[in-house]
Amino acid sequence: MQDIWRLSAADLAASIRSRQLSAKQAAEAALARLDAVNPALNAVVDHRPDEVLQQADAIDAAFAAGNDPGPLAGVPITVKVNVDQAGFATTNGVTLQRDLIATSNNPVVDNLRRAGAVILGRTNTPAFSYRWFTSNLIHGATKNPRDPGLTPGGSSGGAASAVAAGIGHIAHGTDIAGSIRYPAYACGVHGLRPTIGRVPAWNASSPERSIGPQITAVSGPLARSIGDLRLALTAMAQPDPRDPWYVPAPLEGPAVEKRALLWLRPDGLEIAPEIEAALRDAAERLRRAGWQVEERDTLPPLREAAELQIKMWLADGYDAMLALAEREGDPGALACLRGNRDQAQGIDLAAFSGLLTRRATLTRQWQRVFAETAVVLMPVSGELPFADQLDLRDDASFNRVWRAQMPQIAIPFMGLPALAVSTGLVGRCPVGVQLVAGRHREDLLLAAGEAIEAGGVPASPIDPVA
C-alpha cells in the first residue's frame, strides 16, 4: 500500500475501478504520504483525515452497489485554498479571511467530486494569490521539493509542491498571469491553463470579481503526466450554470496539421542558455513525433499584452486592494502591489475602454496565427526558477523577476490556453517549455505536450530534498 501514492491518476482510477485496490486504500496511502513529507514542504495547509476517509468509503460503497462514481473515482487530489470548499475557510492566503467559511463548493470542486475524486487537502498560496513565490502570514511558506532554496512558484505553489512530492495524484490550481504554469515549471511537473470559460468557477463566499479577473482568471490542473492533465480537464470542465463565462465547447476539436512555431525570444526577451537548449530540444522531440516545426522571430505582440494584462488585472480596484494588503501587512503582496503601482494607477474609463478595444485586436491577431499553426512553442520564463524570495531582495531583483515572466503574463490577456511542460533538470533545478494554442484547443496542447513528454521528463513523485 505504501506505493499507491506513486501511481498516476489514470492507473490508480483503473485499479480502483477493477477492484484491485479500494478507494479507502488509496486514501490511506495518500494521507500517510502527506503525513510523511508535508511537514518539510507546507504544501497542504488544511486537511481533515476523517472526511477524506469518509469520501473514500462512499466511493467504495458506490462500486459495491453497482454504480459508477465517475472517471476519477477514488483518486486523491488537492484543491487550492483560494476556492470555496464547503466547511473550509477560503483564506486566499490572508489572515483577514481566516473566518471566511464556505457554505457551498466552487463549481470546479463540485465537478471534481462528481467525477469521483477524493479531496485530500487544501494547498497554499501567497497572500491574495498574487506573487511568484508562496508564503503568507496565515499559513507560512511552502518549499520546493526539488530544492528548498528555489521558489515553488506562485501562486499555485502549494499545488505544484504537493503533486511533485506525491501528495495527491492531481492538483487544482488557478491562473490569471501564470499561477498554474510557473509553479509547474518551478517544481518540475506539468500545468495546464485552460481557455477562459472552459472550467466553471465562482466563489459564493466572496464579492463578484471585477471585469479583468472575470475574463482572464481560470482554474486548471497540475499533474505529473500529460495523460493525467487530460483526465483532470475532462472532469473539471463539466457545465455549471453559476459561471456566466462558461462555454460548452467540445474537448476535442477538428483535426489539424501537426505544425508548431518555435519562438525562442518573444519580443526580444532575454533567455538563459539552458532555456534556449530546452526549447530547441522540445522542438526536436516534436519533429521526431511527426510535427513540422518552424522557427519564427516575430509574432503578434506579447510584451504589450503583458503590460495591458497587469493594468487590467490591477487597475480596477487597485486602491482597495492596496488598502487590504496594508491591513494584512504581508511583505510579498505589498512588494508586488507597490512595484506595479505605475501600471495600476491613473486609468480612467476612456483608457479602460481603450484597453479592452486593444484586447480584441490582439486576440484577433493571435487567433489568425492559430488558424495556420496548431501550437506555438515558447519560454515559460526567461530564467530558470528563481531563488526563493528573490523579489524581496531589492528593486532590481523585483524588476528582474517580473521582466522574466512576460511570456506567462501575456497569454491570459487574449484568453488563450497554455501548457507548461517540464522537460528536464539543470542540476536539481527544473526547466521546461510553454505551449500556446487557440481558444478551446487544449487538445492540441496536450497532444504536443505528450510528444515532448515522451522525450523525457524529471522523475516524480520525489522525496523532498533537504
What whole-number distance in Å separates Cα of residue 219 and Cα of residue 79?
A: 10
pLDDT for 345: 78
* Average pLDDT of span 259-270: 98
Q: What is the chain's mean pLDDT, rounded? A: 97
Q: How many residues does the chain have?
A: 466
- Helix ranges restricted to H, 210-272: 211-214, 226-236
pLDDT for 343: 84
- Helix ranges restricted to H, 345-413: 349-370, 395-404, 406-410
* Average pLDDT of span 172-192: 98
What would the pLDDT profile of 14-49 be if each residue is shown by its tens digit?
999 999 999 999 999 999 999 999 999 999 999 999
Q: Which three cell numbers stand for residue 42?
A: 507546507
Q: In sequence order, what are the residues at sequence separation of 6 or more whose Cβ sits closer than 8 angstroms to the Cβ of residue 280?
A: 262, 264
What would the pLDDT profile of 363-379 be if each residue is shown by its tens digit?
999 999 999 999 999 99
Q: How confident is the model at residue 178 (pLDDT cuts 50, 70, 90)?
A: very high
Compare 301 and 316 and report the one with higher pLDDT.
Answer: 301
* Lowest-pLDDT choice from 1-10, 18-27, 38-47, 448-457: 1-10
Q: Is the pLDDT of residue 2 over 80?
A: no
Q: Which three cell numbers stand for residue 176?
A: 490569471
> Catalytic residue among 22, 129, 161, 179, which?
179
Q: What percent of the chain has pLDDT over 70?
A: 100
Nearest to 172 by CA among 130, 118, 122: 122
> Catalytic residue among 22, 24, 80, 156, which?
80
* Average pLDDT of span 228-233: 98
What would the pLDDT profile of 108-126 be if each residue is shown by its tens digit?
999 999 999 999 999 999 9
Q: Is the pLDDT of residue 161 over 90?
A: yes
Q: What percent of the chain has pLDDT over 90?
A: 95
pLDDT for 154: 98
Q: Is the pLDDT of residue 1 over 80?
A: no
Phi then psi for 331, rounded to 5 degrees?
-65, -35
Is residue 443 within 8 A of residue 219, CB to CB? The reply is no
In sequence order, the β-bridge partners of residue 316 are: none
Sheet strands side by side (includes 218-223): 44-46, 118-123, 76-80, 170-175, 218-223, 190-193, 418-426, 429-436, 375-378, 259-262, 292-295
Q: Which three cell numbers stand for residue 314?
A: 490591477
pLDDT for 342: 86
- Residue 107, classified by CB atoms within 10 Å of its CB into exposed (0-12), middle (13-18) or buried (19+), is buried
> Catalytic residue among 22, 129, 135, 155, which?
155
What would the pLDDT profile of 323-362 be if each residue is shown by its tens digit?
999 999 999 999 999 999 988 877 888 999 999 999 999 9
What would the pLDDT profile of 44-70 be if each residue is shown by its tens digit?
999 999 999 999 999 999 999 999 999
Number of H helices, E strands in the chain: 17, 11
Q: Is the pLDDT of residue 240 over 60?
A: yes
* Average pLDDT of span 65-80: 98
Is residue 355 within 8 A of residue 312, CB to CB? The reply is yes
* Lowest-pLDDT choice from 141-150, 206-215, 371-380: 206-215
Dihedral sign (CA 226, 227, 232, 238): positive
Q: Superfamily for 4-453? A: Amidase signature (AS) domain (3.90.1300.10)
Half-sphere exposure of 134 toward its Cβ, with a 13 Å CA cutoff?
39
Q: How confident is the model at residue 156 (pLDDT cuts 50, 70, 90)?
A: very high
Whether 18 is catalytic: no
Q: Is the pLDDT of residue 316 over 90?
A: no
Nearest to 6 by CA among 234, 149, 166: 166
Whether 353 is catalytic: no
User: Can you spell out the DSSP letters for 280-340?
Assistant: HHHHHHHHHTT-EEEE-S--S-SHHHHHHHHHHHHHTTHHHHHHHHHHHT-HHHHHHHHHT
Nearest to 377 by CA among 229, 268, 278: 278
Whether 179 is catalytic: yes
Is residue 335 within 8 A of residue 392, CB to CB? The reply is yes
Burial 315-341 (b: 16+ CB within 10 A, else e): bbbbeebbebbeebebbbbbbbbebbe
Per-domain residue ranges of the chain: 4-453
